[in-house]
Amino acid sequence: MSDRYQDFASNPIGKLLVKNLGLPSPTKLERYTAGAPLVDGTVVVGGTGRLVESLPGLLDQLGIASTVTAEDGERYKGLVFDATGLASTEELHALRDFFTPKLRSLGTCPRVVVIGTPPEQLKGSERVAQRALEGFTRSLGKEIGKGGTVQLVYVAEGAEAAATSTLGFLLSPKSAYVSGQVVRIGAHGTTEAGEVADWTLPLAGRVALVTGASRGIGEQIARVLHRDGATVVGVDVPQAADALQTLMKELGGDWLALDITQKDAPQRIAHHLTEKHGGVDVVVHNAGITRDKKLANMGEDKWDAVIGVNVTAPERITRELLDQGVVHANGRIIGVASIAGIAGNVGQTNYAASKAGVIGLVDSLADEVGDGITINAVAPGFIVTDMTAAVPFATREVGQRLNAMSQGGLPVDVAETIAWYASPGSTAVNGNVVRVCGQMMLGA
């Protein structure tokens, strides 16, 4: 759906008013189209750390052109700086030396990635320097403009070869609404790279379960996973059965109409996946509801309903699938949390508790799941859906503008982030919570 403010800000009269009044000027974000190059342009690579020599080769696997020399007058699509070699705060000067001369050579919707070593694996001055990278990247994300994004990727020792899928996601339009994030590779469990036979169809031959799949964000998750080659099994409440069946038939998938809060729902899902598909490779806990009310006025029904759907059901289903061995080796479990679970929100104590609980589920299982299985979560910010379209105009405008990109995200932005987690190439991406929020200015 159209962003009327963005349309206004891009016409001649709007541009003049926006400039003179100092109003937000959102850039139309580039998003990935199936069959298009992953990166339409060249990425400049630099640094002095563990990955700098291997980076061109990793990018070449994805068909991404790179160079170590930025030419005057040329336009570049991205910058990647290997900061793993920075061992003291004095050496942080290398960040300014690399980025300052190159930032003006970036085109529209550029991508910047800084690579570091997880500070918790270091000591002394080296730990201080590596932790400083977080402040640098988050600030640069709020400066870069032009629809650009900036991320920090902490790569554990030995996990260098496992960075390919993450670089492909963060350097491409698939990460259009993801910025200011910190991703850890190899911090929990395996440090090895998963094998991807075809980067254009990374999920070929895999089965993906998506709850709440009939509409909105769930529908886009199903579509993107199908695009990447997965057979999708959609789950939704019986009231949404018609829409669910129509979508799954279109995608050549399967469906199961049930209420995930029912006592026997985990067993029914496990039985269906085992009998019809021989198990599952990707589990996406997307189903969620809101029942907003300030805590002083909140009834027991509103509290229990939100907690039950948003966190209790995903926890019960996950544990059942793991206990029965329904999740295949190298499987993926992905939760949909929310910015509200990180920063809180007025009138959403139940919702925020449930979404923080999703993050807790990731924390609790990241070191428990073995056999190459990973668990991660996305935390969407203001995503434009039919539900948000019903929000009062003033509230909606504030929600859309208070981020570094001055606009709301789209359901496909959440779906692309989930598809990155789901890729077999993301075996070393475990225990992460990535915000899909355009880098919110306040609270998170």
Examine residue 133 and state whether it is found in any structural domain, yes or no. yes
Instruction: Tell me what pLDDT residue 285 has.
Output: 98
Rounded Cα gap, residues 323 and 338, in angstroms: 27
Domain limits for position 396: 207-436
Please tell me whether residues 137 and 248 are part of one structural domain.
no
Please tell me whether residues 288 and 370 are part of one structural domain.
yes
Instruction: Tell me what pLDDT residue 92 has.
Output: 98
Please tell me whether residues 237 and 147 are part of one structural domain.
no
Tokens of 131: 């932790």
Which residue, among 327, 240, 234, 248, has the nearest Cα to 289 in the 3D structure?
Answer: 240
Query: φ, ψ for residue 267 (rounded to 5)?
Result: -70, -40
Q: Tokens 């959440």 appear where? A: 414
Please tell me whether residues 99 and 243 are part of one structural domain.
no
Please tell me whether residues 116 and 235 are part of one structural domain.
no
Could you tell me if 335 and 380 are in contact, meaning their C-beta atoms sit under 8 angstroms apart? no
Instruction: Tell me what pLDDT residue 3 has.
Output: 76
Examine residue 443 and state whether it is found in any structural domain, yes or no. no
Could you tell me if 283 and 319 are in contact, meaning their C-beta atoms sit under 8 angstroms apart? no
Please tell me whether residues 102 and 219 are part of one structural domain.
no
H helical segments located in 263-407: 265-277, 300-307, 313-323, 340-343, 349-365, 386-389, 393-401
Rounded Cα gap, residues 172 and 211, in angstroms: 27
CA angle centred on 275, ends 269 and 277, rounded to 5°: 85
Distances (CA, A) of 151 to 93, 137, 217, 230, 274: 19, 6, 23, 28, 39
Please tell me whether residues 170 and 256 are part of one structural domain.
no
Q: Does an H or E element contain 82, and which? A: strand 76-82
CATH of the domain at 60: 3.40.50.720
351 is catalytic: yes
Choosing from 121, 154, 185, the residue where a domain stops is: 185
Examine residue 73 and state whether it is found in any structural domain, yes or no. yes
Number of structural domains in the chain: 2
Please tell me whether residues 27 and 86 are part of one structural domain.
yes
Please tell me whether residues 406 and 365 are part of one structural domain.
yes
pLDDT digits (tens, 9 = 90+) for 377-433: 999 999 988 767 666 776 777 778 889 999 999 999 999 999 999 999 999 999 999
Residue scoring higher pLDDT (349 or 195): 349
Examine residue 197 and state whether it is found in any structural domain, yes or no. no
* Strands 231-236 and 207-211, bridge-based pairing: parallel
Average pLDDT, the chain: 93
Please tell me whether residues 309 and 419 are part of one structural domain.
yes
pLDDT digits (tens, 9 = 90+) for 140-193: 999 999 999 999 999 999 999 999 999 999 999 999 999 999 999 998 878 888
Instruction: Tell me what pLDDT residue 373 has.
Output: 95
Q: Which is the catalytic residue, given 5, 32, 154, 351? A: 351
Examine residue 30 and state whether it is found in any structural domain, yes or no. yes
Could you tell me if 140 and 107 are in contact, meaning their C-beta atoms sit under 8 angstroms apart? no
Rounded Cα gap, residues 334 and 430, in angstroms: 10
Examine residue 176 and state whether it is found in any structural domain, yes or no. yes
Please tell me whether residues 226 and 363 are part of one structural domain.
yes
Name the burial class of residue 248, with classes exposed (0-12), middle (13-18) and buried (19+) by CB atoms within 10 angstroms of its CB: buried
Examine residue 5 and state whether it is found in any structural domain, yes or no. no
pLDDT digits (tens, 9 = 90+) for 209-252: 999 999 999 999 999 999 999 999 999 999 999 999 999 999 99
Rounded Cα gap, residues 11 and 268, in angstroms: 54
| % of residues, the chain, pLDDT over 70 | 96
Examine residue 411 and state whether it is found in any structural domain, yes or no. yes
Please tell me whether residues 427 and 283 are part of one structural domain.
yes
Instruction: Tell me what pLDDT residue 19 has.
Output: 72
Check pLDDT > 80 for residue 65: yes
